[in-house]
């Protein structure tokens, strides 16, 4: 069937509409004050844990306040290794709003009176009930199992939330250009995504990102793994030299989520991997294969890394005869008997 018949394709290509809604919701939301909390913990499961990694790094950089990310299951089962007596804002992220570990962790957090809860989701569900602040982005809802549009919409909300908590209205204004830029990037680079994705000579993918980009590298790695059943792993840029580079050969794709601030160091790693025979795909503002040329401040434009790499996984799934809407062994919502 044609690519337009797949829900995943439609969701990737239409995601910028959800970006707009997420930004509008945060602009108009009633939010807490940054000084009310001694720390902020972001939590989720699977994709939304990776979203939490990126969001916590962004929040701490923008606000100067301590922030960290933990999986929902760890927050539930090993609470004592995570929470202290510090006044905490818990940011719980879940596409469905019903993920068991996240729901139970929030309930336990509220029962312990450790602080307040802000929920970011695409559905107004059970997770929203005990929350003190609630951001629901309906335009991010999906039919497919693997998160694409939903992830990007919730990351957009988390980035805008961090900007608002930091009092950076200038950054919120700049973020208004992201949807139009995202559409242009998809239009310009979809052929490159399909070319790499459809080349089945490649048998392993490595996604490199540091700082805010590390959580996003984890997420696009997960998309490649879920949708295409391909060997795929994420790493921090400099860490890749410490062992994993031994796996690089002519059948390897190394994808770099390159930053402005560390461009020289990150590009050096990619150049080394190319010398070892790997095929290199770098994404960033300029001077790379997939250049954003956005003019948007680096701190709030990271959502632009997502669409092309989501499309790469989509095209690879089709080339391997797989259904990207229904990855093996997975369901859209994980519910456990806890």
Delineate the domains of the chain, giving CATH numbers in brackets: 3-175 (3.40.50.10490), 178-319 (3.40.50.10490)
Among residues 120, 55, 76, the alpha carbon closest in space to that of 94 is found at 120
Among residues 26, 300, 64, the alpha carbon closest in space to that of 182 is found at 300
Which residue shows structure tokens 């939304």?
A: 48
Three-state DSSP at 43 gives: strand
Three-state DSSP at 177 gives: coil
Among residues 228, 92, 110, the alpha carbon closest in space to that of 154 is found at 92
pLDDT digits (tens, 9 = 90+) for 231-290: 999 999 999 999 999 999 999 999 999 999 999 999 999 999 999 999 999 999 999 999
Alpha carbons 102 and 126: distance in angstroms, whole number? 11
Strands 39-44 and 115-121: unpaired
pLDDT digits (tens, 9 = 90+) for 193-246: 999 999 999 999 999 999 999 999 999 999 999 999 999 999 999 999 999 999
User: pTM value?
Assistant: 0.95
Which residue shows structure tokens 């996604």?
A: 207
- Give me the tens of pLDDT residue by residue for the chain, a chain 338 residues long: 589 899 999 999 999 999 999 999 999 999 999 999 999 999 999 999 999 999 999 999 999 999 999 999 999 999 999 999 999 999 999 999 999 999 999 999 999 999 999 999 999 999 999 899 999 999 999 999 999 999 999 999 999 999 999 999 999 999 999 999 999 999 999 999 999 999 999 999 999 999 999 999 999 999 999 999 999 999 999 999 999 999 999 999 999 999 999 999 999 999 999 999 999 999 999 999 999 999 999 999 999 999 999 999 999 999 999 999 998 765 655 565 66
Alpha carbons 95 and 104: distance in angstroms, whole number? 15
């Amino acid at each position: 069937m044609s690519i337009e018949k797949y829900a995943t394709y439609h969701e990737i290509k239409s995601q910028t509409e959800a970006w707009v809604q997420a930004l509008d919701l945060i602009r108009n939301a009633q939010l807490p004050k940054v000084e009310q909390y001694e720390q902020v913990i972001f939590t989720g499961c699977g994709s939304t844990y990776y979203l939490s990694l990126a969001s916590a790094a962004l929040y701490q950089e923008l606000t100067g306040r301590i922030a960290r990310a933990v999986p929902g299951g760890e927050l539930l089962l090993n609470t004592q290794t995570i929470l202290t007596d510090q006044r905490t804002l818990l940011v719980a992220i879940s596409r469905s709003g019903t993920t068991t570990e996240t729901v139970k962790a929030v309930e336990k957090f509220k029962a312990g009176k450790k602080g307040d809860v802000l929920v970011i989701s695409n559905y107004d569900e059970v997770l929203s009930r005990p929350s003190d602040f609630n951001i629901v982005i309906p335009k991010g809802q999906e039919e497919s199992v693997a998160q694409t549009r939903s992830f990007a919409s919730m990351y957009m909300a988390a980035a805008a939330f961090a900007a608002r908590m930091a009092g950076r209205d200038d950054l919120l204004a700049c973020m208004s250009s992201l949807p139009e830029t995202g559409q242009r990037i998809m239009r310009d680079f979809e052929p490159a995504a399909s070319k790499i994705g459809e080349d089945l000579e490649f048998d392993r993918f490595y996604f490199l990102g540091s700082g805010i980009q590390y959580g996003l590298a984890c997420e696009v790695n997960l998309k490649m793994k879920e949708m295409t059943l391909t060997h795929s792993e994420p790493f921090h840029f400099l860490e890749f030299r410490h062992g994993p580079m031994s796996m690089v050969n002519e059948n390897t794709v190394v994808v770099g989520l390159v930053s402005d601030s560390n461009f020289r160091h990150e590009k050096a790693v990619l150049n080394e991997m190319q010398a070892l025979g790997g095929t290199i795909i770098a994404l960033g503002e300029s001077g790379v294969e997939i250049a954003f040329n956005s003019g948007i401040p680096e701190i709030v434009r990271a959502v632009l890394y997502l669409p092309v790499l989501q499309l790469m996984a989509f095209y690879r799934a089709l080339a391997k005869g797989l259904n990207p809407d229904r990855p093996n062994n997975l369901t859209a919502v994980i519910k456990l008997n806890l």
